[in-house]
Structures are given as structure tokens and as C-alpha cells.
Structure 1
Amino acid sequence: MSLLAISGFAQTKIANASAGRKKIIVAYVTSWTKVMPDPAYVTHINYAFGHVNNTFDGIRIDNEKRLKSLVSLKNNAPQLKIMLSVGGWGSGRFSEMAATAENRKKFAEDCLRVINEFGLDGIDIDWEYPTSNAAKISSSPDDTRNYTSLMQEIRNKIRKSKLLTLASVADAKYIDFKAIEPAVDFVNIMTYDMGRPPYHHAGLYRSKYTSGISVDEAVTAHLNAGMPLGKLVLGIPFYGHGKDGIADFIDYREIVNLKGFKMQWDEEARVPFLENDRGEFVCTYETPESIAVKCAYLLNRGMLGAMYWEYGGDTDDGILRKAVFSGINK
């Protein structure tokens, strides 16, 4: 058999193995909401948030009592994975922490301390974003290289028995994915916030209502950057963006109660939007129908699963979380 044939055979085996892996559903659950997630509909919970502490060498956790209550779900659902997500938009001090070997080592040690103290299954790093100060946080041109060293340090400290994941911006910038790939279990792509009305913020494919990139292009960007499909998790927003009488950020639970708007379906982008009485695009959001399309897409591509921000944005009866669950488990 030629080397080319062997390479093709190996790639096929990897793709088949990825397609055959049990798919995951990651739900972000926040410190400021009270709803308790139903383990029947998720495989992983990312608790938002922990933060880099003021001395740049450890973790400070928001509302530790809520984190403990989430971990208690494992008493009746031992298969459930609970992670602490460190970071979030506007959460800083990453750059200073990652800048020195000593701080990285101490931070990694504190990751292990938090895992052991709270009975967690791993750590999710949500630095938004290395080398960028768009969120009004400190940054450095060295952040990307230091990020790689940080992830390697955390992996070495928590070992392979615990999970190490990350949240990534849609266009796959800021991170050296080839370098971190061996250290991480999977990547949660934030395939949302890519536009504001009159544009979609999470359109699956391009259409005339695309201002940035599409979800499909975001997945391909991560693949081209060096992260295999079997380690990619597709982000789904449980919220929308509005204008002209609709809040810029609005949870799905509030969108379903809006009056005086007409739902439209973009057949090219495969997502809905709301129009006002003048026929203007005023809200971009998701429905069970668009979620079903996204789930079919990720399964077809051989991705690891779906992620959503955030559990509390759903209706009380779980319209969207049930759509994700049924879409992933077809």
C-alpha cells in the first residue's frame, strides 16, 4: 500500500472514530441565575464564572454556593461532568498571569485545588481574548504564546483524568490551535454574536443577512487552524439580539412573548428572524427548527457535540434544551 493510501486510510479511520464517539451537550450555567439544570438533557455543565485572582496566580469563583449545588447533581447523575469556566467577556488578569512561568505554575496548581475541593471534572478556559484588549482587559503581543504554555501547564498539573477545554471566538483568532491540540479535550466554538440586526448573529450559512462570518465558516476556520472536527463543539445561543424596541440582548424566554412582530425564515442561512410592521429585520435568534438544522449539520460533519449559552435563557419547559437533546440524539 502506498504512503498516500495509508494516509487516506488513517484519515478515514479518524473520521469514522469521531462519528462513532458519543456526542456531548455542554450547557453553560451562570452564577447569577437560579434555575437548576436537568441532567437528563446535558452531558457537561460549565459553571460561569471563575476569574484570575488579583495576584495573578490563582482563581476566584463567583457564588461558590451555587457551584456546590450544581456539583450535588452528580449524586443522582454520576455520569454528569461539571466544569469551572474561568474568564468570560471583560474578565481580565489573564495576560499578567500567563506572562511568567511562576504565575502559570501557581495558577495550574490552583486549578487542581479547585477541582479537588469542589469535586469537579475539569477546567474550561474562557480568556476573551489573548492579544486583544477589546473587552477592556490587559493584553500583550506575547499572549498567544503564553496561552499555549498555560494550557500545557494546566494539563500537566491536572493530568489526563480531568478535562481541559476552552471557549473560542468564531473566527479562530488569537490561539495557536496546532500547539494546544494535544493538551485539550475539546473546544467550545462561540458561533454566535457574529452580527446585529439587520444581520444574523448565528447564521449557519451565508446569506444577504450575513455581516461577519457564518457558523459553517467558523467551524472550517477552526479545522484549518489545526483543531480536528472530533474535538470541536458547536455553540448555539439561547438568546438573540434586537433593535427598535427589542433589547440588544434578549433571552429566548422573552423573545417568545414578544407581540407585534412576524417571524421570517432565511432559507439560505437556515435561521429565523423577526420583522416589525414595516418589514424591517429587528431581531436575530434561534428556534427549535434552526437548532435541529444545526444539530444535523454538526453530526454530518463529525463534530463532537453542541454547546449553548446559557441554560437560563431557555423557557421554563425547556423548548430549546429539548431541541438540542433530540437533535444530537437522533
Structure 2
Amino acid sequence: MIKLTPSLVLIWLIGCTCVVQGQQKAQQQTNVSKKVTVAYVTSWTSVMPDPAYITHINYAFGHVNNDFNGIRIDNESRLKSLTDLKAKYPKLKVLISIGGWGSGRFSEMAALEDNRNKFAEDCLRVINEFKLDGIDIDWEYPTSAAAKISSAPEDTQNYSLMMKAIRNKIGTSKLLTLASVADAKYVDFKTIEPLVDFVNIMTYDMGNPPNHNAGLYRSKYTGWISVDEGVTAHVKAGMPLNKLVLGIPFYGHGKNGVANFIDYKEVVKLNGFKNQWDDEAKVPFLENDKGEFVCSYESPESIAIKCSYILSRGMLGAMYWEYGGDTEDGVLRKAVYSGVNK
């Protein structure tokens, strides 16, 4: 029997401490590795994304076909060029995003069981044909005709049935995600929560100057909602924080000499404007020589703060629209990636 001397006890305690610290460090590394950075990449741009700074690509877009029972894909060769990246980066996930603003025929498709099932079958066909990792649904928005598309009061219920049909058909090994309006309306999240892997919250387009595009917190320049309020709305609607991905715009909104929609790579080229910072909303904006708020946009500084917010709330990661809006050297995408992987 070994006699426990003070020295042996000390050695034993040090050893236990090292084991615990090692386990904690491993857990921290695991948590970091689970953070996602989702880049929407569009069919109408040609820039190739750098997989070193992203975990998921959402290809925009596919659409519900004219027969309401399948998928039509924009620029299929562009999609294939993205999935080809997986040969060198096998951990990269590529999904097709079906929908987008003004993309209709969802209401008719989701209304009938036969259409839903055939659409789900075509989701599986597209996954297999293009070697995809899943489906992202971007129906904007069930029950609303604001995008000049068909709608019906039953859309929300039928949305849930559509997601169930897709999940049943593609199985659990493939991803099923969705893009959601900031205030969490239009979708029954409690019903679809078990079906989906995560939700990309479109926490942008929250206002035009003199309101912020994507203010993190409420300030005098907040429009209808803030980013923080949008996240909270999704939690209240039934989605856990670890399934929520925060949307970040790589573009701004302008007026009085600045384009209404302007990519960040063009914002940084603007001359004759004064950079301002809203310390309540935690975002920058531009003023003209008259002192007017003329452009709301995102910067590496505001992205860093948003990423700290993601980590502090225990969210799954960040998403951005869209990759082509960044500068050639990737100032914003690098800020997103480093921010969620602190």
C-alpha cells in the first residue's frame, strides 16, 4: 500500500488539474469547430469562393418549376463548379437554395400532397446529380404576396408539410435548412424545429437611410427591428439558439447620391462622405456634406461585434449575403471567419 505523502498528493492534484484543463480545452476546440460560416454564392456572379474561410456554400438559386412538382436551377454549370471545390476541400458543404425574393410557385406546390412528394423527390434527385450536401429553402414568405408571387392563408401549415416531405425523402444524412425573415413570422418554427438542421436569419434589410440596414441593437436609427430583436423573436417562436445562424449583409443601402443597393466593395470606393459610428446599434454609416445619413453598411469592426454576439448567445454561426459583395482580398469574409472562431 502506497503511503500518501504531501508530495504525492500535490503531484496527484496537479495531474488531475491537467486532465481537466485538457478536457476543457478539447471541448472548447470542439465548440469552435462546430461554428458554421455560410456564404450565399449567386448564379449571376463568377467569383469563386475561398473554402478556407467558409464551411457552407448556399447556391442561389433553384426555383419551383412551372409544373409545381420539381426544381429548375439557374446556371447549372456554375453550381457544378462549386461542388467541384469539394474534391480539394472535402469538409466543405454545398447546398442549393431554392427560392429567393420574387421566386414563386411555392404556394401551389406545397398545397397538394402529390406536388409536395414529387418536389421532395426532385430535391433528392438534385442532391444526387450535383453531389450536394443538402437543401436550403428560401420561400419569401409563406402567406405573403409582397414579392408579387402567389400566396394563400394555408401557406404556413403547408410549409411545414413541405419540409416534412423533403426530410423524409432526403433522409437525415443530408442537410435541410431555411432562410427566415428577421421577425420570425410566416413559419411555424415549433413544428419544423425537429426537421431542420439550422435557420439562416436574414437579419438585414431592416431599413433604408436614415435607418440602419442591420443594426445589432436598437438606436434612434432603427427601423422596424434590430438584429438582437430578430434573434430573440426566433427563440420565442421555437428555435433553439444552437440552431440559429446570424445573417450579415455584404452590401449597404443608400440615398442622395449613393445607390439604394451597393456592395461593400463599392462602399469603400466612395469619396466625399464622412464615416460615422452608431455606438448604440454597433454599426457604421456615411454622412454627406450636409450631415445627412446617406448610406448604411457593414464593416469589419461591426462584423467583429456581431460575431462576439453570436458566441455570447451560443448561436451556431454566421451567414452572409453574398460572397460577391466583398472586396477582392476578402476583408469581410475574413472578419466573419475569424470572428466566429475566436
Match of 2:253 among 230, 241, 254: 241
Displacement over 6 Å in runs of 4+: none
2:230 counterpart SS class = helix
Larger radius of gyration: 2
Match of 1:257 among 229, 252, 269: 269
1:217-296 pair list within 5 angstroms: 217-296=229-308
For 2:302, give the aligned amino acid.
S
Counterpart of 2:38 in structure 1 is 26
Counterpart of 1:308 in structure 2 is 320
Counterpart of 1:98 in structure 2 is 110
Counterpart of 1:132 in structure 2 is 144
Are positions 1:148 and 2:160 aligned together?
yes
Do the aligned residues in 1 keep the contact of 2:199 with 2:244 (CA within 8 Å)?
yes
Are positions 1:205 and 2:217 aligned together?
yes
RMSD over aligned Cα atoms: 1.2
For 2:61, give the aligned amino acid.
F
Give me the whole-angstrom Cα distance separating, in 1, the residues matched to 2:149 and 2:309: 35
Counterpart of 2:68 in structure 1 is 56
Counterpart of 2:50 in structure 1 is 38
1:51-130 pair list within 5 angstroms: 51-130=63-142
Query: % of aligned pairs identical?
Result: 77
For 1:311, give the aligned amino acid.
Y
For 1:205, give the aligned amino acid.
Y
Consecutive unaligned residues in structure 2, runs of 5 or more:
1-27
After superposition, the C-alpha distances for 1:198-247 in whole angstroms (9 at most, x for unaligned) are 00010000000011110000000000000000000000000000000100
Normalising by structure 2, report the TM-score: 0.91
Normalising by structure 1, report the TM-score: 0.94
1:170-189 pair list within 5 angstroms: 170-189=182-201
Are positions 1:319 and 2:313 aligned together?
no
1:193 counterpart SS class = coil
Give me the whole-angstrom Cα distance separating, in 2, the residues matched to 1:309 and 1:174: 21
For 2:188, give the aligned amino acid.
D
Give me the whole-angstrom Cα distance separating, in 2, the residues matched to 1:217 and 1:141: 26
After superposition, the C-alpha distances for 1:39-64 in whole angstroms (9 at most, x for unaligned) are 00000000000000000000000000
CA displacement at 1:19 relative to structure 2? 5.7
CA displacement at 1:116 relative to structure 2? 0.2
CA displacement at 1:20 relative to structure 2? 6.4
2:107 counterpart SS class = helix
